Chain A
Amino acid sequence: MALTLLLLVPLVAAIVLLAMPAAAALDRVISLGASVVTAALGIFVVWAGDSVDVPWIRSLGIRWHFAVDGISAALVLLTVLLVVGVVLHALAGPTPSGGSRSTYLGAIMLVETGALATFLARDAILFFIAFEVVLVPMWLLIRRFGDDHVADETRADAAGRFVLFTVFGSTLMLIGILLLVSHQGTSDLEALARMHGAGLSHSLEVAIAAILLTGLAVKVPLWPLHTWLPSAHTIAPTAGSVLLAAVLLKMGTYGIVRLAVAAVPEGVIALSPILAVLGAVGVIWGGLACLVERDLKRLIAYSSVAHMGFIAIALASGSHTGLQAALFANIAHGIVSALLFFLVGDLKEQWGSADLSTPRVALRDRAPRFGVAFVFGLAAALGLPGLVSFWGEFLSLYAAWSPAEGVNVGVLRGTVVVGAIGLALAAAYSLRVARILWAGEGAPETAGEVTPAGAREAASEVVVDERGIRWGVVLVLIAVMVTLGVLPHLLLTISEMDAAALLTGVTR
């Protein structure tokens, strides 16, 4: 019951918001109310371990089957809580140009619906449908509400890229799902996990795994299928970037765990060297690109490619530690990238661009709240212990060094070395950003003293510090980051048993 409501509340809210006239003032109440109620329901569902299972399309044997378990619980919580933050953040500032606020909020709620349904779905076909629901509202956010400082074609290109890449990926995924379902005779994900690949010939299993992994790799995104991400992130409004990084990318890794690792384990193990190598290339590729990238939003997007690379390495290890590390790093990246995109979005709102080569004031002095928040965000981005990302990355390197039986040890150990180099690169680019934004590298050296006010400096001197609700959202994210960094078990225990069950094919 609660679970159905959890999906219906944001869906109904989205429909109402999209349908209501632009002038109506109720959108504030509806969106906020719906997101808070959804969050409460989400917490309840996770706590109660709720599930719903009724026949849906009888002729195809597809069931309306949703449930929550240790693998998805943290992602559900992340989604529902983050959407509250996104809505609060959106209401606390001007709506991006391109449409009415109610449409903007409606798109956010629709993304939430699709994401929740994806994380909760226990039927492969249902999973696919939910996976696709997210596309349209996200396209809307990028296409219509995207950065209005760039030409319309650029927005069209970013939105088109996002949709076409993702649809290409999900088409492959659908083929994989259909192959799997037709051979196993069921689309029930729990049954598929219980079968654990039994009854499939090895080559068929590898083929299905290859199709599924390729399809999902677009969403993650893994190198070399990542080129939609930077443009989508750069153009998307703050809410879009946050949801994209924190929720949508996670659907990719979650799909790998739920569909591929659980249902075709041998295939994944056979392909794990490729998965690990692509992840490792992504770590280095993203890290290097961040060293010279000038647009801060693009930079964070490339750092996402690097962080998701670690998750791929962890998944490739096939061990329990690896799976735990991947699930943890998933959440960690969600929180950290959400924080960074909130901050950059707010700065971009003021500055009109997020170009690092423009000389700016030192945030440390002129906007200390921005400054502190950036220091925390960037420290987390480079994997500083005590903040959330460290555990995911450290444990994935451990897992890759001692992978599960059957996984190519030599290749995996190579990726450990590459991953460790990626950590150093992360430090280099994070501090590069800190040096420019926080310490004001490139700003006039004599700030605060008498300077001949050049026109260029004067334009960038204006920066209003974070305050009010937006500052509150940022503070909460920082608090979560520190809490989970100090107490990683809070997350790891949620997924411990189900991760073990998923790897062995034993249902609890």
Chain B
Amino acid sequence: MTWVVRLIVLLPALAGLAGLLTRRRRAVSAGIAVGTATAVALLALAQWANPLRTADIDSFGGLPLLDLSVPLHLLSDRLSGLVSFVVAVVVLAIQVFTVWYLREDKRYGQFSATVSLFAAGMLLVVQSADLALTLVGWEIMGWCSWLLIGHDTERYAARRAAYKAFIVTRFADIGMVIGLVALAVRAGSTDLLDVLTVAESDGLLTVGLIGVLIGVAGKSGLFPFHDWLPDAMEGPTPASALIHAATMVAAGSYVVARFFPLYAVDDAARLLLAVLAAVTMVYAAVLAFAQSDVKRLLAYSTLSQIAIMLGALAAAPVEVGAAPAISHLIGHAFFKALLFLGVGWLAVLAGGTAVAKLRGQLRPRGALRWSIAIGLAALAGIPPFIGFFTKETVIDAAFEGVAEGVGIGAWLVLVALLVTVVLTAAYCTRAWLLLDGPLQARGSGSATDSAAAEPGDADTLAPEPAVAGSHGAGHADHAPITLPAALSVAALAVLSVVGTLFLLGVKDAVHVGLSTAVLSVLLIAGAALAVWVASRRGHDDAADRLPAAVLAAAPRGFGADGVYARFGLGVVALARVVVMLDRDVVDAYPRATAVTARGLGRIGERAHRAIPSLALVGLVVGVGLVVGLGVATWL
């Protein structure tokens, strides 16, 4: 059975390579991409149904180093089986959807190949039992995200967003690399089990865990690294679905979950995790509410939801473990993939993702309307959708954390969770009222319009026409959706309803407390009602009630992009100083040596010219005198 585990990683990697080689032939690359995704989903199903419970599956042999053990093992247990299965299913849905979505794109082949490779990276992180392999998968995902987000390299905004995504995450990976190295040094091994068994808390552990946490904050978009994610919406919608739903951003939660036993004993790292998660949860939810572009709204909601998973890890007591976070990861994977694909589909029909474009577009759409309704309901956490169960499990875990004295971090997370429940319900209600509202609302407000014209891109230098700022816009005359693509959306909708069943096999993955459930249902209902009232029963945009300053700044993420850009400019200024120093100081010594040598040469040359020098004349005269004197005396 171990070959199943290996194949789950190997197949998509090979599919990525094969897809790259056959990228010119659309049918072949589509066949490879979808075929492999199906095969991987089946393999993952087999692994999940019959898990091996082992952590020493050889991948390609350990590295021959004498003072460090790098076995490069893969693992297989119920958790990894379930997560790989979910990842594989979501990837399959995305691949099927992409065949239709990028039907007219001349780079479909590259795109689907990159998605395959991306999946390989994520599955490697999931199956990895070795810190080095985790880092391998982690970085491969980062690279693929660069390729996917920058898919439309013709557009400045896409190039910039791709660059930003990779640089921000890579910057955070400074922490990741140092953290993994520190953890490996502690154990003298990169093997996950070895690292986990050295459980006593010490300084090196704190350094390692905080380092890993910084890396996770980058990839998962925790504050203050969050701003790359909304910009990543410049990528085609399937790429957004992939990055947001089951891979990349979720990978951070998975990695922290694997290290949970270590985080549980290190208070400093855990408190930092709690603070970052709590801040991001609430902050991103507020921003989501005020967005004027639906894709960006979903992006901010992803940030908030990922923070919920990490919050669960920060607050859960040791006995509960990482299961609540993982179950929310899985629930989120289903409903967020559903929402992205659904909105992508809708954007093709409506010709854009700005709220102004999509307003009221959902009402006449049948199956799509239902799918998005299910997605938003699951996101808001309305029973009986999967989001309700997983979120309640997290809240319950936080309650237990508070009860069992996990400390201030658990309190922080719990409060943030309850606030986030309200905010999430609010922005979901707003999104639904806008999408499903009356087609032509009363003047949608100039603030919304101007913001929508340029979807959140802080860089006003973007040279393309304002409307083309987001990917879907170019597809107004797109072919009607194909049955497989529609089915993949429908399948995700079904999974968002019944997906809870998957979780039942995992201990503590679904654990709903009655009182907290009642409380959050009440909170959700209250928030929804408030938004409904604020929007005058769906005739207005509820966000228009926000202060104008907030409304204007929110689509740009409150200027976070500017801070990043200033940081970048600072580095470039430093680079200019370095180049100047390199030329004028470091290289001055060799040049000075050359000048000195040449000068000395000139002096020497002058001293040896054929013209008799004064000294020589003096010498000859002197010698003559002496000789003359001698001769005269002798005579």
Interface, chain A (partner B; CB < 8 A):
161, 164-165, 223-224, 226-228, 285, 288-289, 291-293, 319-321, 324, 362, 364, 372, 379, 382, 384-386, 390-391, 394-395, 397-399, 401-402, 416-417, 420-421, 423-424, 427-428, 431-432, 435, 438-441, 445, 447, 486-489, 492-493, 496, 500
Asked if A321 and B68 make an inter-chain contact with CB atoms under 8 angstroms apart, the answer reads yes
For the complex, give the distance between the alpha carbons of A292 and B146 in Å.
21
Q: Are B60's CB and A486's CB within 8 A? A: yes
CA distance A202 to B282 in the complex (A): 62
Output the nearest chain A residue to B186 by Cβ-Cβ distance: A402
Which secondary structure characterizes the binding site on chain B?
helix
Binary CB contact string for chain B from 120 to 160 against chain A (1 if under 8 A, 0 otherwise):
00000000000010011101100100100010011010010
A233 to chain B, nearest CB (A): 14
**Which of A386, A395, A398 meets B185, CB within 8 Å?**
A398
In the complex, A319 Cα to B167 Cα: how many Å?
A: 32
Instruction: Say yes or no: is B617 at the interface (Cβ < 8 Å to chain A).
Output: no
Known A423-B170, A493-B64; judge A227-B590 contact (CB<8 A): yes
The answer to whether B66 touches A416 (Cβ under 8 A) is no
The answer to whether B586 has its CB under 8 Å from any CB of chain A is yes
What chain B residues lie within 8 Å of A382 (beta carbons)?
170
Contacts A321-B65, A492-B65: A423 and B184 contacting too (C-beta < 8 A)? no
Nearest to B137 among chain A residues (CB) is: A385
How many chain-B residues does the 8 Å CB contact rule pick out?
52
B182 part of interface (Cβ distance < 8 Å):
yes
State whether A427 and B167 are in contact (beta carbons under 8 Å apart), knowing that A292-B572, A385-B135 are contacts in the complex: yes
Q: Which residues of A contact B389 (CB under 8 A)?
A: none
Q: Of B156, B166, B575, B576, which contacts A431 at CB under 8 A?
A: B166
B620 at interface (Cβ–Cβ under 8 A)? no
Task: Evaluate contact between B579 and A292: CB separation under 8 angstroms.
Answer: yes
B234 surroundings in chain A (CB, below 8 A): none
In-complex Cβ contact of B171 among A424, A438, A486 (8 A): A424
Stretch from B172-180, B222-230, B424-432 at the A interface: B172-180
Q: Is B63 a contact of A492 with CB atoms below 8 Å?
A: yes
Question: Which listed residue (A395, A416, A424) contacts B170, Cβ 8 A?
Answer: A424
Do residues A416 and B153 form an inter-chain contact, with CB atoms below 8 A? no
Asked if B177 and A384 sit within 8 Å, CB to CB, the answer is no
Q: Once bound together, how far apart are the Cα atoms of A237 and B151, in whole Å?
A: 34
A-B contact pairs, 10 of them (CB 8 A): A321-B67, A321-B68, A384-B143, A416-B181, A420-B174, A423-B170, A424-B173, A428-B167, A439-B150, A489-B62
Q: A321-B65, A382-B170, A427-B170 are in contact. List 11 more A-B contacts (CB 8 A).
A: A289-B578, A321-B68, A385-B135, A386-B140, A394-B132, A402-B68, A431-B167, A432-B163, A445-B463, A489-B64, A492-B65
Whether B61 is near chain A, meaning CB under 8 Å from some CB there, is: yes
- Collect the chain B residues with CB atoms within 8 Å of residue A402's CB: 67-68, 185, 188
Beta-carbon contact of B154 and A447 below 8 Å:
yes
Q: Does A398 lie within 8 Å of B136, measured CB to CB?
A: no
In the bound complex, residues from chain B placing their C-beta under 8 Å from that of A379 are 143
Contacts of A227 in B (CB 8 A): 582, 586-587, 590
Indicate if the CB atoms of B166 and A321 lie closer than 8 Å. no
Would you call the interface of chain A mostly helix, strand, loop, or mixed? helix
Query: With A292-B572, A320-B66, A385-B136 known to touch, is A439 a contact of B153 (CB < 8 Å)?
Result: yes
Cβ contacts under 8 Å, B572 to chain A = 291-292
The answer on a CB contact under 8 Å between A439 and B68 is: no
With beta carbons under 8 angstroms apart, the residue of B65, B143, B150, B177 that contacts A420 is: B177
In the complex, the answer to whether B184 meets A398 with C-beta atoms within 8 Å is yes
A445/B575 in contact, CB under 8 A: no
- CB of B607 closer than 8 Å to a CB of A: no
For B65, the chain A residues whose CB sits under 8 A away are 320-321, 324, 395, 492, 496
Interface residues of B in 184-207 (CB under 8 A from A): 184-185, 188
Contact B178 A420 (CB under 8 A): yes
Is the C-beta of B105 less than 8 angstroms from some C-beta in chain A?
Answer: no
Q: Which residues of A contact B182 (CB under 8 A)?
A: 401
Return chain B residues, CB-CB under 8 Å to A291. Answer: 571-572, 575
* Residue contact A386 to B136, C-beta cutoff 8 Å: yes
Shortest beta-carbon distance from A369 to chain B in Å = 12
Cβ–Cβ contact B579 & A487, under 8 A: no
- Contact assessment for B177 and A431 in the assembled complex, using a CB-CB cutoff below 8 Å: no
> Taking the complex as formed, is B574 at the interface, i.e. its CB lies under 8 A from any CB of chain A?
yes
Give complex CA distance A493, B167 in Å.
Answer: 34
- A28 CB to closest chain B CB (Å) equals 32
Residue from A362, A427, A435 having most chain B Cβ neighbours under 10 A: A427
Contacts A385-B135, A394-B177 given; indicate if A489 touches B63 (C-beta within 8 A): yes
The answer, yes or no, to whether B459 is at the interface (CB within 8 Å) is no
Interface contact B173-A423, CB-CB below 8 Å: yes
Query: Are A401 and B181 neighbours in the complex by a CB distance under 8 Å?
Result: yes
Minimum CB distance partner of B576 in chain A:
A292
Cβ of B104: which chain A residues have Cβ within 8 Å of it? none
Q: Report the bound CA distance from A402 to B186 in whole Å.
A: 9
Whether A421 contacts B174 in the complex (CB less than 8 A), given A487-B60, A488-B63, comes out as yes
User: Known: A395-B65, A431-B146, A492-B63. Contact between A288 and B139, CB under 8 A?
Assistant: no
| Bound CA–CA A226/B590 (angstroms) | 11
Within the complex, the shortest CB–CB distance from A2 to chain B, in Å, comes to 27
Q: Which 10 A-B pairs have the closest CB atoms?
A: A385-B136, A439-B153, A288-B575, A496-B64, A427-B170, A320-B66, A291-B575, A227-B587, A420-B174, A288-B578
**Residues B171 and A435 in contact, CB atoms below 8 Å apart:** no
Given A398-B184, A398-B185, CB of A165 within 8 Å of CB of B590? yes
A contact residues around B181 at 8 Å (CB): 394, 397-398, 401, 416
Smallest CB–CB gap between A282 and chain B, Å? 11
CB distance from A366 to the nearest CB of B (A): 12
Looking at the assembled complex, report how far the CB atom of B453 sits from the nearest CB atom of chain A, in whole angstroms: 18
A379 to B117 CA separation, bound complex (whole angstroms): 14
Q: Which of A223, A320, A440 contacts B67 (CB 8 A)?
A: A320
A64–B135 CA distance with the chains assembled, in angstroms? 47
Neighbouring B residues of A489 by C-beta, 8 Å: 60-64
Known: A285-B582, A420-B174. A445 touches B464 (CB 8 A): yes
Interface positions of B from 63 to 100, Cβ below 8 Å from A: 63-68
Of all chain B residues, the one with the shortest Cβ separation from A319 is B67
A384 touches B140 (CB 8 A): yes
Q: Which residues from chain B contact A423 at a C-beta distance below 8 Å?
A: 170, 173-174, 177
Chain A residues in 8 Å Cβ range of B464: 445
